[in-house]
Amino acid sequence: MERRTEIIELTTGQIDAVVAAHLPGESAREFWLLSGGRANTNYAIETVTHGEGFRLRVLRLHVREPKTCSKEIALAAMLTDVPMPRVLGHGDVAGHPYTLTEHASGQTLQYFATAGRVPPSAARNIGRVLAHIRRHEFDASGDLQGDDGKLRVVDWGFGDNALEGFVRRCLFESPAGERLGAASRDRLWQVMEPRLTAPTAPARLTHGDFNPSNLLIDAAGEVTGVLDWEFAHAGDPIADVANLLRPRADYSLPDGFAEGLVSGLADEGVTLPVDWREQAAFTDLGSALEFLSSPEDKPRTHAAAIRQIERYLADYPNG
């Protein structure tokens, strides 16, 4: 996937100032850019504490959408039963808001999947964590914003039926329709439109980017961190299941992973509907349309989204 924003390069002095502001008694020994993420800039900082050795911290600059900084701080305070790096401080540097957090142990699920050695228990453990995330219910769907450490829901701005408004805008008012082509655009609308007005489930906390690159696990399959809550919102959490299980070009999750995930959800009292796979595939079309709606050209991202939509239409009855 293409990078979405420029990398913000910080000086040694700026790093030192951040550490001094939030970590009394510690000083930065070394720092380097982290490769994960395509929209924000993340640094690892190795600090030294006299008499206590080295510690690793993560400095996250919120570049694409500055207001997500306060959202992620509020979520970290709320989700005490979800493994997340503890926030050590926040502020502004180089014109961007930042959070300074502990460094979570483990490697990404993507790392393990690419190496072909995902621990057998990982799927079930991830399902249990996802169940804890979706326990949080809201009065309405919408984006989340953090104000003074508290979360509030902000209307999407797509009209009375947010989902229908979103899909209509993507297909007929954004570059997505042109990138799909008239025939595929119209066929997709024909398939989606009847389901867009159906009653929706209660709005629950949805991570919004619940993919293998944002899930840290250890060699035993325990979840050590859920990262990058920039797209967290109140909505249908089946979207997180869909995102996690979406086919990737560079790697794949092992056989039985989906079944393990469902078992983990059930362990925590969450039973998915019988047709959850179809619901997930339908919901994930929204992500594909959002990718296709970007004003700038992103050849690899757009090609993957078009393939996803074409697969869905091909598998749809009478497709």
* pLDDT tens-place string over residues 124-159: 999 999 999 999 999 999 999 998 778 999 999 988
User: Mean pLDDT over all residues of the chain?
Assistant: 93
If you count them, how many residues does the chain have? 319
pLDDT classification of 1: cutoffs 50, 70, 90: low
The residue written with tokens 């009209």 in the block is: 159
Number of helical (H) and strand (E) elements in the chain, helices listed first: 11, 12
Environment class of 154 (CB within 10 Å of its CB; exposed 0-12, middle 13-18, buried 19+): middle
Do the beta carbons of residue 217 and residue 106 sit within 8 Å? yes
Q: Over range 288-312, report the average pLDDT.
A: 94
pLDDT surpassing 90 at residue 220: yes
> What 3-state class would DSSP assign to 81?
coil
Per CATH, is 108-315 categorized as 3.90.1200.10? yes
Report percent pLDDT > 70 for the chain. Answer: 97
* pLDDT tens-place string over residues 23-72: 999 999 999 999 766 678 999 999 998 777 899 999 999 988 888 999 99
Q: What is the pLDDT of residue 207?
A: 98
**The pTM is what?**
0.93
Q: Over range 204-216, report the average pLDDT.
A: 97
Q: Is the dihedral of CA 73, 75, 77, 79 positive or negative?
A: negative
CA–CA dist 158, 168 (Å, integer) = 9
pLDDT classification of 193: cutoffs 50, 70, 90: very high
H or E element in which residue 304 lies: helix 299-315
- CA-based nearest residue to 36, from 225, 273, 260: 225
**Domains in the chain: boundaries:** 12-103, 108-315
Q: What is the pLDDT of residue 200?
A: 73
Q: Over range 287-304, report the average pLDDT.
A: 94
- CA-based nearest residue to 175, from 301, 58, 271: 301
Q: Over range 87-113, report the average pLDDT.
A: 96
Tokens representing residue 234 in the block: 């109140």
H or E element in which residue 135 lies: none
Q: Over range 167-179, report the average pLDDT.
A: 97
| CATH fold for domain 12-103 | Phosphorylase Kinase; domain 1 (3.30.200)
